[in-house]
Structure 1
């Protein structure tokens, strides 16, 4: 994940939390906020110490980043996303994390609208 695609500053996090919309399932919470100044999306991650030790937390963050990296072409640009991992995410495999995040992608319509070739 490139540096320009990351949210690191507390002010940026707070802006997304206060002004953005959120959607959640048992494993993750996703906050999103339109940010038209950016040409690409930006991603912030929050994985609490309640999830587990540093190895576990870093593994969860790596899996989330990987899924966003693979889906970057189909995700809407000009948005800030913050993903908060919940406790069950610590024991999940890559496929389970992916299906859980895709569930939220569908609920929040994060994917770009596909153009209908027939119309």
Structure 2
């Protein structure tokens, strides 16, 4: 993912989460906040409940690939994805379909 499509700053994470618009699935929770600029940005958070650093990095790599395959980055909102432990129990394709359905909901609800 390009740098302009990433959210790294913790204050930006907090502002998006405090906006309190979210979509929940068993594998992850998406927090959404509209923005005025011309492209979407994504932040991924994988807590220590998922496992050690190797497992968390693998999950984040998988999520980045899912996002690159499902999103066009032309939308005008920011997304924070909080990964839940159930993510590890599901297969890649199942998690990808969940992400696709949630992103479609986000686009429709805007």
TM-score by length of 1: 0.82
Quote the Cα distance in structure 2 between the aligned partners of 1:76 and 1:27: 25
Question: Which residue is 1:64 aligned to?
Answer: 63
TM-score by length of 2: 0.88
Structure 2 unmatched ranges of 5 or more: none
Corresponding residue to 2:82 among 78, 84, 91: 84
Quote the Cα distance in structure 2 between the aligned partners of 1:88 and 1:94: 12
Q: CA RMSD in A?
A: 1.7
Runs of 4+ residues over 6 Å off in structure 1: none
Question: Which residue is 1:30 aligned to?
Answer: 30
Structure 1 unmatched ranges of 5 or more: 112-119
Between the two proteins, the alignment pairs up a number of residues equal to 108
Q: Name the structure with the higher helix share.
A: 2
Larger Rg: 1
How many angstroms does 1:105 deviate by?
2.3
Superposed CA offset, 1:42-95 (max 9, x none): 00001001001111111111111111111222x651210000000011233221
